[in-house]
Amino acid sequence: MKIKTKSKKVNKQWLQDHANDPYVKLAQREGFRARAAYKLSEIDEQFKLLRPGQLVVDLGSTPGAWSQYIRRKFAAGGAAVGELNGRIVALDLLEMAPIEGVTFIQGDFRDDDVLAKLNAAVNNEPVDVVVSDMAPNLTGVTVTDTARVAHLVELAVDFALQHLKPEGALVTKVFHGSGYGELVELFRASFRTVKAVKPKASRDKSSETFLVGFGLKNPGAR
């Protein structure tokens, strides 16, 4: 009974914190589906990643806040609907409500069939930016969770190496802790410039950070 009571208290506290979160309130006012939009916004403002006319792939897109932010970058006046200058292909294991101008693929990024659909959606065109907010279901077992996180990051890096333009960029979510150093080294082996960023919109209690890689080290090796 004590465990259940504690769990309810923790859940109630999280809901209260969430409701009072300034980024949650801002997302509601500005029409974003999640506060995560402001994480990408901060990264984009810092590194000037997104510009009209680009082809962008959004991995782990549901509920769609990152795709929403990108499509507003591609629309005149930052409009949430209407014509946009650029292409966005989004993918997630979970269903995502439609976003005007965004091509969505539902499926597991680790499955070859789903990757084939993603490849078809980009039509073998070089991609300007890949963004990945993918995260596995965590078990609480450190070794297992570390391996799952690393695998998703490795898949995102591999996709980026195969599809990015030579001067393209990749943004992925990672977590500090066991295995973090290895993922940084993977980025350094793959990109000419690597930056680690923890946006202000990322909760202080969260161990998440984002690795940003710019410019392929070996663009002719794909």
- pLDDT of amino acid 8: 54
Is the bond preceding residue 63 a cis peptide, omega within 30 degrees? yes
What is the structure's pLDDT at 5? 42
Q: What is the pTM assigned to this prediction?
A: 0.88
Task: Kindly list the domain boundaries of the chain, sorted by start residue.
Answer: 1-30, 33-221
**Catalytic one of 8, 73, 173, 200:** 173
Q: Of 43, 14, 40, whose CA–CA distance to 27 is shortest? A: 40
As given in the structure block, the two tokens for residue 15 are: 């809901």
> Average pLDDT per run of 10 along the chain, which is 222 residues long?
44 56 92 96 97 97 97 91 94 96 93 91 94 82 80 94 96 89 96 96 88 90 56
Residue 2 is a catalytic residue = no
Query: Domain 33-221 falls in which CATH fold?
Result: Rossmann fold (3.40.50)
Q: Which amino acid is at 175?
A: F
Cβ density class 72-109: b for 16+ within 10 Å, e for less: bbbbeeeeeeeebebbbbbbbbeebeebebbbbbeeeb
